[in-house]
Amino acid sequence: MMRIVIAEDEAMIRRGLVETIDWAGMDATVVGEAADGMEALAVVREQTPDVLLADIRMPRMSGLDVAETLRAEGSRTAIVFLTSYAEFSYAQRAVRLGAADYLLKPVEEADIARVLAQLRPTEDSASGVSAEDSLALVGWPQADAASQTGNPYVADVLAAIRSRYRERLSIDALADAAGVSASYLSRKLKEATGHTFSGLLARYRIAQSLPLLRAGRMRVYEVAEAAGFTDYKSFCQAFKKYLHESPRAWLSREGETHETL
């Protein structure tokens, strides 16, 4: 059972997360809660949970500072941030700090279930493919190539893919937000990673689908939607392109057949 700590300074939201989410149905339990960053840090140190759900902006110590401190201490707790569209710049920094994911407020139970399903393989080696193994399988560039180039625009694109892969992303929109041309950004991205933007986005989405498929709690078309694909057909096409077999064939080969599929 996954052990969860929830850190949220708004009492109503925190109580809603603690009391109304069907944690048991996700094979999880809340072992602690905190109203600010300092309290969150203390609770995580005491409870050593599998997952910390933390608001990015909290009194006394931000969720980002909590993450930075925990990483410096060598904590293995996976950190999932709660944020809003207006705080996307914070979400980019969160990804760079090694955040497992981020959830937009108001948080939906289905989104929490999806994130926990993705995290579970990294916590339980018996369940198979880890998050990093999944990325390696689809050819995602090691270390995101950002450290190799030092190009902040490339780093921001890779951070955007990691944190917003479920959205309708385009290189044009990201270039416009960065204040550079789409052609320049595409060229630098290809130089740094060896892949196009659309290829990177599809690879990352496929990597995110693997633990969901293994968990066996969702149908293939539901996995496709959760991973950011617009339809089942495009998901299967991308899956076959990068893993050279269909989702069902992959599951069968891995020895993980599920009746729901």
Alpha-carbon distances of 229 from 114, 141, 211, 224, 247, rounded to whole Å: 15, 21, 16, 5, 14
The model's confidence at residue 142, banded by pLDDT at 50, 70 and 90, is low
pLDDT at 127 over 50: no
Residue type, 168: R
Token pair recorded at residue 244: 């050279």
**What pLDDT is attached to residue 261?**
46
**What pLDDT is attached to residue 170?**
94
Burial of 256 (C-beta count, 10 Å sphere; 0-12/13-18/19+): middle
More confident residue, 257 or 149: 149
Helix (H, G, I), strand (E, B) or coil at 255: coil
Helices (H), the chain: 11-20, 37-47, 63-72, 88-96, 109-123, 131-137, 146-149, 152-164, 171-178, 182-193, 197-215, 220-226, 232-243, 247-254
**What pLDDT, in 10s, does the model give residues 159-200?**
788 878 888 899 999 999 889 999 999 999 998 888 999 999
**What pLDDT is attached to residue 257?**
45
pLDDT at 149 over 80: no
Q: 3-state SS string over 27-82?
A: CEEEEEEECCHHHHHHHHHHHCCCEEEEECCCCCCCHHHHHHHHHHCCCCCEEEEE
Question: Which among 202, 49, 68, 92 is positioned nearest to 139, based on CA atoms?
Answer: 202
**What pLDDT is attached to residue 98?**
65
**What pLDDT is attached to residue 63?**
87
**What pLDDT, in 10s, does the model give residues 1-57?**
899 999 999 999 999 999 999 999 888 999 999 999 999 999 999 999 999 999 988
Strand partners for 2: 28
More confident residue, 211 or 189: 189
pTM equals 0.59
| Identity of the highest mean pLDDT range in 82-91, 114-123, 133-142 | 133-142
**What pLDDT is attached to residue 90?**
64
**End-to-end C-alpha distance for the chain, whole angstroms:** 24
Contact 18, 6 (CB under 8 A): yes
**What pLDDT, in 10s, does the model give residues 229-250?**
999 999 999 999 999 999 989 8
**What pLDDT, in 10s, does the model give residues 49-89?**
999 999 988 999 988 899 889 888 888 898 998 887 555 56
**What pLDDT, in 10s, does the model give residues 90-111?**
656 666 666 777 787 888 888 8
Question: Which among 118, 135, 231 is positioned nearest to 220, based on CA atoms?
Answer: 231
